[in-house]
Amino acid sequence: MDKARPWLPDLGPDLGVSREAPGMSLGPESSDPGRILPRDTAQEAREASDEEGGESARQDCPQPRAGEETDSSSRPPVAKRRKVDTEGKRGRQREVNEEEAQEMRTLVAAMSQEQLNRYQVFRSSAFPKATIKRLIQAVAGTPVSQNVVIAMSGMAKVFVGEVVEEALDMCEKWGEKPPLQPKHLREAVRRLRKKGQMPSSKHKILF
């Protein structure tokens, strides 16, 4: 899971939604322990391009948390830090997004036709929202909100990706070629189950 997968840029923990999540976020701050005072946003952007270009791509999710814990004794309390550095974080976030957009553009420009086709299908493929909604409501028995359907479809797609990628690894390991056969998928499921990434056997006996 820590391999660099180009199709899933690691945006790090500091997206808008998670800023309130306890224990998460405050990623870039831990790389800059001395800063408490508010910064000029232009200077911010310049600094961000220096440090974020190298660090944010490599910075892993758990690391900021660890950094935060070890540094907390030498820094102001969390609430004060958040209030002061919000503007800086947004500026850095924009900078990071810009860089990633640029990286994606470079990558797409370098793709062959077959790769482009595949990438296009990868981006546009999705589960039909109506069917997912029907399925969730059949299980839950109550109507569900639209956000739930959005979240669930997204997770299901990532799930398919995990299984297919693991199965492709199996296929390659056994010296065979796509299309994937059921035995590859079954072995992939067995592996993922060991890693704890599979639904448990609560509902269906699959094989």
Q: Whole-number minimum distance, CB 43 to another protein, in Å? A: 27
Residue 9: how many other CB atoms lie within 10 Å: 17
Figure out which of the listed residues 94, 135, 187, 191 binds another protein, where binding follows CB under 8 A.
Answer: 135
Map residues 156-185 to x or -, x wherever contact with another protein holds by CB under 8 A. Answer: xxxxxxxxxx--x---------xxxxx-xx
- The verdict on whether omega for the bond into residue 179 sits within 30 degrees of 0, i.e. cis, is yes
CA 175 to CA 170: how far, in whole Å? 9
Contact call for residue 57 and another protein (CB under 8 A): no
Contact call for residue 15 and another protein (CB under 8 A): yes
φ, ψ of residue 27 to 5 degrees: the values are: -65, -65
Task: Output 58 or 202, the one with its CB closest to another protein.
Answer: 202
Contact call for residue 155 and another protein (CB under 8 A): yes
Task: Output 66 or 139, the one with its CB closest to another protein.
Answer: 139
CB-based contacts of 89, cutoff 8 Å, min separation 6: 14, 19, 28, 29
Contact call for residue 79 and another protein (CB under 8 A): no
Contact call for residue 204 and another protein (CB under 8 A): yes
Q: Whole-number minimum distance, CB 121 to another protein, in Å? A: 4
Figure out which of the listed residues 72, 152, 187, 191 binds another protein, where binding follows CB under 8 A.
Answer: 152
Hey, is 182 helix, strand or coil?
helix
| Amino acid identity for residue 137 in this structure | Q
Closest CA to 118 of 161, 152, 170: 161
Residue 141: how many other CB atoms lie within 10 Å: 6
φ, ψ of residue 41 to 5 degrees: the values are: -65, -30
CA 205 to CA 125: how far, in whole Å? 28
Figure out which of the listed residues 4, 6, 17, 175 binds another protein, where binding follows CB under 8 A.
Answer: 17
Contact call for residue 203 and another protein (CB under 8 A): yes
| Amino acid identity for residue 142 in this structure | T
Q: How many residues bind another protein (CB under 8 A)?
A: 67
Q: Catalog residues that contact another protein under the rule CB under 8 A.
A: 1, 8, 10-11, 15-18, 61, 118-119, 121-128, 130-132, 134-136, 138-140, 142, 144-145, 147-148, 150-152, 154-165, 168, 178-182, 184-186, 189, 197, 199-200, 202-207
